[in-house]
Structure formats: C-alpha cells, structure tokens
Amino acid sequence: MCVQAWLQRALWDVVPRDHRQSQKDLRRRQLITAGFVLAGAVVLGFLLRLEPGSTAFYVTSLVVAAVWFVGAFASGPLHLGRIPIGTDLSGPTKRPITAPLALGAGLALFFVAGGLVVAQIPWLSDQVAKVISYADAGSLPLLVAITAINGIAEELFFRGALYAAITKYPILWSTLAYVIATAATGNIMLAFAAILLGLVVGLQRRASGGILAPIITHCVWSISMLVALPYIFGTA
C-alpha cells in the first residue's frame, strides 16, 4: 500500500499550481516548439550516422543538446515543479528528487530485464548493438557527460517547452513528438525506448507541474543504459 501511495504521489496526484499563459504567449510557444522539433529531428538523424567516437560525433551530440536548450528557453518560462509531502494535495510540497531517482533506477532495471530477452532475438539485438557501438568507441566519462547533457536538454524541451505548448492531451502528444524525433535515427529500439520513457516522464511532468522530476529520471535511466547495455550484449 505504501508503494502504491508513493507511486500515486510521484506519477498521478496533480499538485495545484497556476502556470497559465496568455493566448499570445501560448501561440508564440507553439510556433517556436514546432520549429525546433523539426530542427532537432534532422540533427539527431545525422548524429547516429556518424562514426562512433569521432570528433564529429561528439560535436554533433552537443549541437543536438543545444537545439533542445535554445528551443526550450526561447519558448517561454519553465518551472521546476513540486510534489506533495503527504496525501493532502493542498498541504506542504517539496522539490521532487528521491522519487524520480528511484523511478529512473526502476525504469533502468526494467530495460535491463528486457535487454536480456532482446539479446536472444537477432534482428532486435542488431538494433541495440548499433546504439552500443557509440559507447564502445568513445571515452566513457565523456559519453556519460554528453548523455547527461542531452537528457537534461531533451526534458527541458519535450516536458518543458513542448508540454506547455499543448493544450489537450499533453502527455500523449509530447511523447509522440519525442518518439518521432527519436525515430529520425532509424533505430527501432531507440524509438521503443522513447515511448516508455516519454510516458513515465510525461506523467511526472503532469503530476509535479515541472521539469525537475523528468530530468532526474531521464538522466538516471540513460546513464544506466549507457553503462549496462554493453555487458548485457557482450560488447564490454
């Protein structure tokens, strides 16, 4: 029952807030985010066609992050968000830190378990191997830093700017946009991961009203995958 209540506070209970925008500001945010979704998809598609570990790969990785960062902050104000301390939604709140850390770790364990299954399916295993090749070819500390930077940038944009630009079903549409942008890489496993990750962090965004929880969960998950997948698929 405690786990259920904890998950409900982290993913479902919506903390009261007033983040309303004028129609002019909303329209401006919508136009800016639409343009940057397209720009980010183009650069991301180019990124995973570069030689793993090359200078161009590292530079383009940071360009992708820059696209999301600029798009997020250019669109309008962003909020960190809060979650309730107890069961009373109108009571005291706090910045979400512990819950998103745990959710990121839990999501990583889920993908590790899935990876053990995927490793036995050749055509899916090949898709994951393409992603792992980037970790094998480069400097791990540098890749961890780039992974964290990109995780932060993606959440600032997709769960910050884009989510706020959508007036109906923002979890669904922000997740769909994230999947479409990721699908530009041509890798089916990355697109599938984007669906599950997008739904979880979208629920966090809805519950907390901000980007802090999605950022933490995304970074914990993505860095865990960067380290764990090479061992699962025998490339470490």
Q: Are 158 and 34 in contact (CB under 8 A)?
A: no
Average pLDDT value for residue range 231-235: 65
Tokens coding 68: 């999301």
Among residues 79, 15, 7, 1, the alpha carbon closest in space to that of 207 is found at 15
Q: Are 61 and 46 in contact (CB under 8 A)?
A: no
Among residues 85, 91, 100, 72, the alpha carbon closest in space to that of 16 is found at 91
Average pLDDT value for residue range 31-38: 92
pLDDT tens for 177-208 read 988 887 776 667 778 889 999 999 999 999 99
Cβ neighbours of residue 42 closer than 8 Å, sequence gap 6 or more: 184
Tokens coding 234: 């025998």
| pLDDT for 55 beyond 60 | yes
| pLDDT for 21 beyond 90 | no
| pLDDT for 150 beyond 80 | yes
pLDDT number for residue 236: 53
pLDDT number for residue 139: 74
Average pLDDT value for residue range 78-87: 86
pLDDT number for residue 172: 95
pLDDT tens for 90-110 read 778 889 999 999 999 999 999
Among residues 125, 121, 147, the alpha carbon closest in space to that of 134 is found at 147
- Mean pLDDT estimate for the chain: 85
Of 27-36, 90-99, 113-122, 206-215, minimum mean pLDDT range: 113-122
